[in-house]
Every structure is written in structure tokens, then in C-alpha cells.
Structure 1
Amino acid sequence: MRLLYFNSSKRLASTDFSGKTVPPYAILSHTWDGDEFLFEDLVNDTGKTKAGYEKIQFCGEQAARDNLQYFWVDTCCIDKWNICELSNAINSMFLWYRNAAKCYVYLSDVSIPVTEAPRGWTLRKRITSVTVRVPRHQSTWEASFRKSRWFTRGWTLQELIAPASVEFFSLERRRLGDKETLEQQIHEITRIPVEALRGGPLEDFSVQDRRAWMVGRQTTQEEDLAYSLIGIFSVSMDFRYGEGKERALSRLQEEMEKGTPYTILNYSATVNTTPFIVPFDRNTRFVGRESQLAELEGKLFVGALPTKVAITGPGGIGKTQLVLELTYRIRERFKNCSVFWIPASNIESLHQAYAYIAQRLNIPGWDDEKADVKELVQLYLSKESVGQWLLVFDITDDAILETTGLSQAVSLIKYLPVSNQGAIVFTTTDRKTAVALALQNIVELPEMEQDIAQRMLEMCLISPTNEPEVADLLLKELAYLPLAIVQAAAYININKITLRKYLLLLAEQKEEVVDHISKESENVIASTWLISFEQMRRQDTLAAHDLLFMACVDPTDIPLALLPMTSPCEKGIDAIGTLDAYSFVTKRTAQSALDIHRLVHLSTRNWLKKQESLSEWNQVAITRLLEVFPDDNHGNRSKWRRLLPHAKFALSFGLPGQENEARMNLACKHAVALFSDGRFRRWKEAEDLVIQVMETRKRVLGAEHPSTLTSMANLASIFWNQGRWKEAEDLDMQVVKTSKRVLGAEHPSTLISIANLASTYRNQGRWKEAKDLEVQVMETRKRVLGAEHPSTLISMANLALIYQNQGCWKEAKELQAINLEIFSRVLGKEHPSTLTSMANLALIYRNQGYWKEAEELEATELEICSRVLGKEHPSTLTGMNNLAFTWKGRGRDADALELMKQCAEARARVLGANHPYTLSSYTALLEWQKEELEISA
């Protein structure tokens, strides 16, 4: 659970209490408006001018009046790009409200003029044998109170019932009363029994009664009408936005009948005891393929050896739908079998799927930002104690893959778990890949039989056909391909035409498709696509535009939040609903995202090429991605990880001379995200991107343009973090020289470049040169920015570091102590710069022999770094290294040896075996081990 607080400098901050004792806190209940303060604003320290920030301030200030340091607000305390965290929050919401010390209801539509504000209590009024106080002038606001939108929203039902203390406030932050004093009014407005409002056990009220409390309430997402009742009925369930209200309510009923216990979930916990991580709902129209299903089920979980099976066949033949049906049958047949689905369209989607599984399973180390989650999942599922599991790799074979064919198979094999209780199923169009993955254990998917195809068509059609001969002819033209049948039936249903009419349309499109569109994809899929798309362009322009946009990003896991146009069009037709109706997209209901079949995606791109509009729409995608792609702030990881595949796809297409500022800026953001993501094995990819951006900016903008200099500085930082000091120095010197001439010696960017050069000198042990530069930067920043500006403090900290390396302990200690005090006061105790100051001051104490003082600071710094940044963040590892040296100095040799061993292994894993920091840790470890052996001898 993430809680907010205002630090000593009145700066909004947050702390994650997952896995720890949660302190007393206040919680806000309100209705959402269009300008809310969001999670991205919190992590990026932006959004203070938003209207919604007023509610954050109100909640924090009111909590302080009630002697509560921490508070929770739903708009900014949940990372909605993190699917596991969002699922946990939805399932835990009722308990979070119930456990709150105070719940403040902010009624933005209830206003009290200052002259009519409640000033006290003047009389007592007896209601249902309960004595309550009625404020003066209550009649002036009670009418608007009774009509407040808050009483009509779905989620506010549990926010009213769950907390023991609920206080109501007007738009002006004036207290109107609480759940006790306004009990009768609330009862009359909501028809909720007084006993329930007073906290009586919900089990005392029938299911029918509790359902009645939701009558008349509304939610923005229709599924929330079910999800907001989770706590009311004491159950847990997966959320699947896009499944529709009826299906969500049906699943809620299923969970109620199971009697699933309601508990606070860890971020990684699953709602069922047996995980079923499949992003798609069961296809209720699936027919046929019984022989292949029987063959597959016969190969799985037989004997004592693990099973690997590959399903192969041409695109559109139904491989994914076959294995999807298989997963649901396995779930029914083996109640304790865990099922995991991994879309393997590219290396990034592969990583994201593994990361999601690691988080949902709560595998130790999943939250270490530098850990290889693919390896974690592999090792975890290889344990026999984990039990029975099925792993599905749905492989997309296309030219857009980073590695294709056999090399793609090799990259998968590296991370496949091995267990006698496990089974792995692959889908692929490439037989060589199938053989590499499953040897001879291959199920070839043949063309669908005519009678099965007829059944499928009948199931997909709303109105039964009375033209069997025409149906046979149509199915033959559609090559009995399931995808083509589904798309054809969708068009027939929407437009209410006959099969004969559709056959004529198919014939009209066939020649055009062969000549212009389908050179790489199956002609029949391109034909059915084109018929539907042309009609969609006429009937729902917004849906057509969304499809064209999605053709320019990765076809897998497209977040709805990425789409630039998701509101209903003039005719009131929902764009996503139209795309779904035409069978152009598949909803990932658990992730609020969409998938597009490879052939639909390719057909759409080919149409754009024919129209000579691919570059234009690719630019639309790049512009939109640039709008939503976050900076490299640590708190934005969930968001950039889901957007990385889409940014890479959009950037991978373009012609020479098409480089514009938007493309270059997105490439730069993409590179920085790769570098900051914690997977340092991807530094080379980040380096290549930055070099590409730098060279393009040199050519387009000029070698001395500020943006070009920024690219050069970014590349120098990548070199610096890899220990490539000479390359970093050369670039830094170029940037400093040019910045001084172009921007001026005191420009902030110039000062940053000088500081970067100083840090490069410092890491090479060139203390005199580093000192001269740092003094210059610090004095200039003091004069230009002020003595307590963060940039000035950073310069002060860097100068102190140089002093201590020169043995000037007194000067270093004074600077670091001042620095730490100001950072703690201005930025907060958990800010990365504060932690750096803490570590630096501890280092000075250690070098002067003040072991106790050093240990206290280092232990505090290490605990905060582990919690805030992650257990394998480079700063955390530096803290481990430092504390190990301090323990060694205090005579705690065994503890020091073990901690340094952990540090060295983690650095090798994170930074690489040849990184200077890794080598330094291993050198110390070997020396200490040698000492231990000598003592033992």
C-alpha cells in the first residue's frame, strides 16, 4: 500500500508499505473530475496546478489536523500501468477504507457560503432513538447534500460503509458532519439500513439487500458495477475491463458461490489459489478441432518427463484459438494446475510476460529492478514443490521480430523451466522453429473440415442461413480459414446482408487484393479485411482511425490509454466496440488492452502503403507515443515498460530524410528508458539509439544545437556508467567547450556539462582537475541559482567527495553535514540526493575511524535504498559495499564477508563481471577470504 505524506519542506512524497506494518492513515473519498492529480504527477513532481491537487492538499492538511502523518488518495496512489498493482488495489480497496483511521468525503458539488458556514451546535434532535447534533444553517446546504453526485457513484458505496469514521466536507473544506450525525439523511438518500451504516456485519444482510444498495448508482466503466461490490460481498476476483457488465456480474456471482475468502492481497498475490494467467476470455464460439485437442491433452502430463509440444500451421488457421481452448480445458480437468500465457511477439513482450508472472507469483526478487525476471521464473517453475503447471508461448512469426526462426527458438529455450510436473505448448507458423523447440513432438493444424467450418459459420451468424449451397461456396472461397470465417460473419451480421451478397463483395475485392495489398499475407484474409474495413470507413471513422493507428505500433498488448481517439463518435458508436464486432481486435480484458492478429495488422499496413499514407500514420503514432511516453523517473517503470515495444516498432520504420524532432525525441526517450530500466544487458541497444539520435541531430540541426549537445551528454553518461572513462571524457569535453561558446559559461546546461566532466575526472582519480571544475560550478550555481538549490547542493556534495579523497577530512565533513541537513529539509529523507549525502558523510566518518557513526548512517541509507530504489539498484549495491567495509573496520569480519559476497555477486549480475565496481568488490572479497584462511591456518 502506497501512502502519501508532506515532508518537512511541505513537499508531497510517498512511501510504499507493502510487506510492512501500515501506520495509521486517513483516506479520501470523492468523485473524479477531468483534471485529477495522477500517479505520474506524483512520481514526476508535476501537476501542482491541476484542479485535482486541491483535494490532495485538503486531505493532507485535514489528516495533519487529526494528527495523522499519512493519507491515501486513489487518483495518485495506484500505478495503473502496473497490472498486478491495479488488481491488488481493486481487491484490497474495501479493507483499505475499513482500516483507515479517518475517511474524508470531499463533496465538490456541495457549497456553503462563508457567511453560512457551520459555527457550532445549537440544538439536539432525536432520530431513531439516537441523539445527534444539527448544525446551524444546515437547511441551506442539506438540499445540495442530498443531491450530491457522490451518492450516485458505484465505488462510493463501499467508501461509505467500510470506514468506521466518515466525515463529510463541502467544496470550501468545511465540515458538514459525519456518518453518525448525518445518519438519518444518509439512510433516506441511500436506503441503506442504519445498522449497516453503523458498521454492523455485512453477513447479517442478504445478498439481495446488498445488491439493492447499488441500484441507481453508476460507474464510468460498466464492469465496475461488479468490481465495486467485491468488498461488499467479501470476495476476491480478477478484473477484466472490456468483458462487459453482465460477464463481470456473473463472475462475481461465481466467486460468491465459491465463498472465496477476502483478504488483503500482496501486489503479487493471485485471487485464486491456483494461478490462471491467460489474458483472453474463453472463445464461446470455438468449434471443432476435437482430434487435435485430444492429441494435445494426450501428450500433456503423461509419464514422469516434462512435455514440450509445438502447434504449427499457416496464419489464420486458428492456432491461438486452439491453445486458448486447451488452457480452459486443462483448467477444468486439473484443478491444481497453474496456467501461464506468454505472448512472444518480440523480446520485450517476452520480458514483460515473465515479469508479470514473477510479480503475480510473488517470486523472491521480482521487485529487484536489476534482476533477470526470466531467469527467476525459470528457476521457480523448475522446482518440483511448485506443483503442476502449463506454460503457453504464443509466438508471432513476422519480419518485425528482433530474432526470427531458429535464433528466436534459441532465445526462448534459454529461459524454459524444466520440471516433471510441467508442460510447455508453443504456437508457430514456422516448422523449423517448432522442431527446434519441441523436436518431433509437433501437432500440425490442418485445414478445417467442411462440416466443422459450416458449424463455425452457423455459430458466428446471428440469423441462420437457408442457402446451404451458397454457404458451401463461401466457405470454399474463404479457404476454410477460421479467421476469414469470423471476419466474414461479422460483416454479414453488422450489415444484415445475405451470404450471396458477401460472395459478390469478395469477388470484387479479390483482384485488387492480389494486385495491391496482399503480397505477404494470405489473400483471403486480406480480402475479408478489406471488405470490412471499407465499410467501417463509411460507418465509423473513429474506429477506422484507431485501426490505422494500431497498425503503426506493435500488434500485441496495445493499451487503451495509448489510443489517441477512444471517445464515441457522433453516431454514438463505440470505436473499440466496432473493431471488436468486426473481429479486428482481441480484448486483453485483464490488462485493458488490445491485440491485433498478425494478418490483420499486416493487411492494414499494406493498405496504408497502397494509399501512400504509411509515413503519415507512422508519424501520428510517434507523436502520440511522445505525448504519453514518460521520462526515466524510477516511478514510471511500469508505464515505459509497456510502451517500449510500441515505441521500438514505430521507430523501426521510416525512410532516410524523414527524421524530425518528434522522432528524435521519442528515440531519445526510448534509449534513456532502456538505460534506466535496470536491465544493463540492454546498454548496447540504448547506446546505438543515442548514437543514431546524435548523428541525426548533427546532420539536421547542426553540431552545436542544444539538442545535439544533450544527445552527446546522454551518450557520455552511458559510457560513464559502463566505466568507459576515456570515451566519456572526450564527449564531455566537447560538450563543455561548445556549450560555453553557444549557451554561455553560466547557462544551466553548461554547468551540468562541466559537472559531468568533473565526475569523469573524479572516477579516474584526477582530483585536482575535478576539484577546480567543481568549485567553479558550485560558486556559479550559488550566485545564479541560490545556496539551497538542488543543483548547488549536488555541486557541494561532489566537492566534498573530492576533499575526502584528497584527505581533507575537515573540509569534506563540514560540506557533507551542511549538505545532508539541507537535502533532508528541502527534498526529504528518502530523496536519492539525500541518500547520496548520507552515504558520503558516512564515508568520511569511516575514513576518520568513527565506525559507530558511519555504521548508523550506512545502515539507514541501505534500508531506504533497498525499499525505495530496489535491492539491486546500483545505489543500493554501493550502500552494501560501504557497509561491508564499515563492518570489517568494526571487527565484524563474518558479517562483512557475507555482505561483500552478496554485493559482488549482485554487481556482476547487474553491472557485468568486468565493470570497475564489480572488480573492486571481488578484489575486497578475495583479500578478506585470504585473511580468513590465514587466520584459520
Structure 2
Amino acid sequence: MIDLKPAGQLFVLACAAIISYLWLRYKHIRSVPAGTVHNAPREAAASETSPRHTSANRPPLEILYHGPTNAAEEPVKVDIVAVHGLGSNVDWSWTWQDKSGRRPPVHWLKDLDMLPAVVPNTRVTVYSYESRWHANAPKTRLELCGEALVRSLHHFRSQTLDRPIIFVAHSLGGLVVLHGLLYTDRTEEFNYLPRNTVGFAALGTPFRGSTMQSLAEKVAWLMTLAGSHDGIIRELEQDNKHITDKVHAFSQLRNKMDLPICCFIELYNSDYGKRFGIPGLVRGMVVDEESAHIPGWDRVGLNADHFKLNKFSGPSDGSFIAVSNEIRKMFVGRGSVLKRRKSDTEKSHFMVPFGCNKNFVGRESILQQLLEKISPSTDQDDCQRTALEGLGGIGKTQIALEAAYQVRDKHPDCSVFWVPAVDATSFENAYRDIGCQLGVKGIEDDKADVKMLVKVALSHESAGSWLMIVDNADDLKLFADATLSDHLPFSRNGSILFTTRNHEAAVRLSQNNITTVAKMENDEATDLLRAGLKENQIHNAEGTARLLEFLTNLPLAIKQASAYMARTDMSASKYLQHCQSSDKTMVKLLSQDFEDRDRYKNINNPVATTWLISFNHITRDYPLAARYLRFICYLAEKDVPISLLPPGENKLEADEAIGILKGYAFVIERNELDSFDIHRLVRLAMRNWLQTNGEWQEWAMDAIQHLTDKYPFPKHENRDIWMRYLPHGQTVLQLQENSANKETGLLFNVAESYFMLGKYNEAEQMYRQTLEVRERVLGREHPSTLGSMNNLADVLGNQGKYEEAEQMHRQELELCERVLGREHPDTLKVR
């Protein structure tokens, strides 16, 4: 641009505006001769001489070259769509004219010796949109122009939607194409278009805006009376954030679609003044090299200024040769581009957060069952749903992990997605990762409904075959409230595997298609313990077997024990001794954290804490089941009679509560339907949980009182009842060992039960405790205390401890005579 002071610049701009306005008025009223099209077919030439369409009534898309006319030639294989630039139109944008008038005009898009000769098996179409800005300009935006282009193409190509397409655009037209393709990528109806786009030739497109933007904006302001509008002009400000963001988004789309792009760069300054009849008034680069191409995209320099980038004088024009050669390369390479895209679309994804567990052992029968159920091809008329249920720590996640790798190896075309369902956040984060991997449009928007977007994507047939593993689907509330269940995809090419410790969740989520994980077999458990240990640590086969039995063959407990033993170089027999020494030591061992690459880092590993989530779920959702669990943990672990449990409001509520505990595998039903066992380690973990939360004493007293009320005085007539209650009474009484206020009623009944069974040693211990408490609480002369003395004397006599028994009877007789009198029936009994 000429160097002028601000005032001079304003004067020059005013002059340019006035001249431009007069020039536009002149162009508007004069008739532009169409001229003769060089080597054009007769029908094409006729269209050139027909009355010019106005922007209001001309179709947006017009065919310039229909393709080969010879039936023997191959049919049209590609659509070429040309989009003109700012302030231009399809009548003269692509036409070179000889100023001397000695040569006919050359329209390089349709003249038979021009582009049709280079790529004959194409259909060449031009797009017409209103791009005026300095007079009679529409109030539009580039984004709207791009959307209009896409809609027009969709309708125009309704019969050939699958045909590949190459865009050719001059200047602003390149940004129109850019906005159009971005629009298709976020609009499901049109998202086929980027997949079918095999080339984009951008002739001087201002991807970073134009240095001439400020000048054009001032001209638009000066020409307001002529109907100018600077809406599009404002968007061309160099390096403005809006256009930068759009180009960034388009670069991502281009990379995803592997779209061939060639940017053509002007190598000469443009003379603006010459266009208005004042040569040299304003000169400069309209779109410099930095703006005309994006790093990483192909670029070619043309020996032309901005206004001649899209006009070529004939087949030997160097610029035409350069441009047409690049378009031909896009045409020839379309097959490989489409093939790569198809391959990428069909490519399977493996999104599992853990490596293959090299130490996985056993579980062959369960794995076989599972693999037969979860293959997406098992039922071609439905989306498979399967649940893998079992106690926490039983190995469900590891089995699912092994199944994931086996599915990957056996079905390479099947994608595998892993979704933790510990809570809503972990579920959504996993869905977001899946959406990003699949390239789901809009997935990274802050306000995007991530779960619904991924559901729709996986439900579409184009997602191919997939297996989704929803791990730790334990909290039924997350699914029952439709928080997550409404976002599970459905595809006849898909399959969903849930792992859960909640039987009710397994039933609801899988329509009762459940595989239950039981404890490991002995040889499997041995192999698991052996991994990572030295031979001298497990050389004692008997001690190793007893340790595994003590740990109930629970995989998580075994892995934790193995990790601790490996770290401390401890033998299996020694570890067992510590476990059996006391509950406190056992809890300490089971609370040891350990490194495990195959478990979630944000979830505690130790066995003592692995059931806390389930405890909390039960406490929140099933109050009676939570009360039962607290009560049961004070009892013996085997053969807990249902009749011993605290009552619910009705029988149905009680049965439901017991069913919940069975569903979590915290209790195990026995052959006798009226009793169950509590898992040994669950019982220990529950006790530890109560102590940690300061609830131990409260619930212990509740358990003692309830059992005192339920335990009958032992007689031969009610033998079946007290015999079943006896182990639990004895276990509960152990809670009183350090208590100053012991419940003597339960002590007495348990002692009497042992006496009737002939277990005099146990009976003696219980009677002594009863006597001790009653003497302290009631006094030596209380009738109940005297009764305890008599019972203790009897059991001592039955054991042959006659001297001590006689002494006890004498004390009793002396007290009875003093309190009751010599003639009282109870005194006489002692005599």
C-alpha cells in the first residue's frame, strides 16, 4: 500500500470508495457480453449467451461439465465443486479474459481442453452464494454460507450421496468450505460428507485472515450509502480468535479424515487501484504465505497475484498446470483415501485400563461359560447382557479382564470398552474416553451430554462389533434411578458384561443371564499363592493348605497374603499362626495395603476394607439387612438360624433383608433353608468396621440382650432349639469376657446346656462365671446366687471333684439355713 499519512489515507479511501461505487453502478446497468467459450460444447456455449441469472433467482449449484459424453467411456467418479471468493460470482470468477480482445475467454473449469481434459471422469459444479460486501451486500456470516453450501449439496446430490467430492475454492470460498465441513461433522444428517470428501484445493484462502482486512473494513464504512456490510469483512481480521479456533477444529477434522489439502499461494502483490482505474493506488499481498496455508498441509506457489489465482489463459498456463495436477492427484488417490477411512472406521478399539494379568490362574470353567455368553455374535437379534456376580474379592474383575483379552485375541474385529461403575463420575469419565477414542463429535464440549453421545455412537451399526465391560456395578441406585441404565447402548453387534457383588443388580441388569463366581478350587488357590513366592515359603504343604482354608480360598485375601509374605520373607505356616493368634492380628494383616497393577488405584486393596462400599450401600438402602449384618457378626459363623434374627415389621421384610445379604454373598444359604453361614472374613471385616466407627459396644450389647431373650432355658422338650442356639450363645458370651456387667441369664442357660450335654468342663466354666457375677451383683444370700452354687457343686461332683463339690454344698446349706430356715423345701433339697 502507498505510504500516506492518516488524513491522506482517508482521502484516498474516500476516492476509492466513490470510484468503486460508480464502477459497481456501471457494471450493474451495462450488459456484459458472454463471449465465446474456447472449445466449449454447443450446449454449454448456449447457456453462456442466455440471460444472466440474478443472485435472487439463480440456483445455488450449476453443472459446468457433466462428464464424459461417450457412452463407451467410464462414468463420472468424482464431483468437483468450485466455490468463488469475496465479491465475486460464478459468471466471471473462473474465467480468464484477454484484455486486447484478440483471444476468446477461457473458463478453466468447463472448457474441454482445460480441467475436463485432465480429469475427464468428473462432474464439475460451481456454487453460487452472495458474497458482495461493498454494495447491496447481504447481512450474512461465513458460518451461514458454509451451512447453506452443505444443505445445497445434500439436496443437489441426493441421488449420488456416496460419490467422492473434491472442493476447489478461491480466497474466501475456502473458508466457506471450511465452515461447511465443520457443520457436517457436528450434524448427523450430513456427517457422511467429510467421509466422502477426497480433496480440497484452496486458492489463496486466508486461513489466518488478511492484512488488507482493515482497508476493506474502512471502505465498507465509507460505502454505507451504497449498501455495504462488513459482517464477512470483520471475520477476516488477521489472527482473530474466532477464525483461529475454526481452523484448529478443521485441522483436527482433517487429521481424523486424512483429507488431502493443497494450498496455493500468490507470489505477486495485487494492485487494488488498477481494479478501479487508478493503477498503483493501493498495492500489496491480499493473503500472504503464512495465512494462505497451515503447517503440515501441502502448498504450491503460483506466479500470479491474488486476483489471477483462479484464472488461467489456457492448457499451457503454468499456474493451471500446477493446480490441475494437484486436483488430478486427489482424483487418482481417492481410492486409497477412502480405503484408509473405511479401515479406520472398522478398526477395533481396545480400551482396558489394566495390562494382561500374567499370574491369572484357573477359572477355566467360568471363563468358558462367560466367553460363550458375551460374544456379540452369540445372539444376532439382540444386544447381549451378562452378569458376573460374586463376593467382593472373589476375582470377578480378574475373570472379566482375562475374558477381555481373550475376546480381543479371538475376535480382532471386536472392540472392547472397560467402564468402571463405582460411581456416576467414573462411569461418565470412561464414556468420555470412549467418545474421544471413537471421534464422537461434540464429545469435548463443556455442556455435552457425554453419556448420551456415546450411547448413540455405540448403538449405531457403524460402530461395528463391541464388548462393553461395566465393572463394579454394585450400586443399584445408580441404575435404578435411570442415572446410568438409560445410557447403556443397544446394538445387535454389541454385548455388555456387568461385574457385580449385588445379586439384585445382576438380575435387573442382565435379565437373569448370570454367571456366579464361587471360591477357587484348592489347586487354583495354591497356584495363586505360589506366584511370587520362593519354594521354601510354601514347602510345608499341610501348613499351606490350612492357610488357604483359613482364607476361604478368597483370591483377594490370597494375593494380599502372598504380597505380605513376599515382602517379609515369611512362610505360609508362620503367616497362618499370626492369623490365628487373635482377631486383632488378623485384622491388621488383612488391612495391609499392597501393590496390585490389576486393581483400581483409587480403591483400597486390603481385604478388610474391600467390602466397605457394599456395607455402605446396604446401610443406605436396606436398614433391616444392615441391622441383621451387624447382629450376625457377633454370632458363630456357621448355621445361623433365621429364627434367631431380630424380627422385621413382617415376614416379607425379613425375607427380603436376608435375600439382600445372600445377594451380596455375605451370607451363604445352607441345605437347611431355615439357616445360613456368614463368610468368615466378612464377619471379621464387619466387626472391624463397627469398631472403627465406634459402634462396637452399642451393637454388642444389643446382640447379647437379644440372644438372652431368645435363648430358652434348656429342657429335653426344647432340645432342638437350644442345641442350635448354643454355639451362638457361647460366641456372644465371649464378648463379655472383659465386661464387668455380664448377662447372667444367658450365662446360666448356656452353662445348663453344656451340663445336659455332659460337657462338664464347659459347664463348670459357665457356672463359675454365673456365680461370680451373681455374688457381686445380687449378693451371696440371693436365691439366684444359691441356685448357681448348687449347679456348680453338681457339675463338680459329676467330674469327680468331690471334695470341692462337698465344700460348695456345705456353703450353700449354711446360707440356705440362714436365709430360708432349716425347714424350707430348698434347704431340705440341699440336705
**TM-score, length of structure 2 as denominator length:** 0.32
Q: Which has the higher helix share?
A: 1
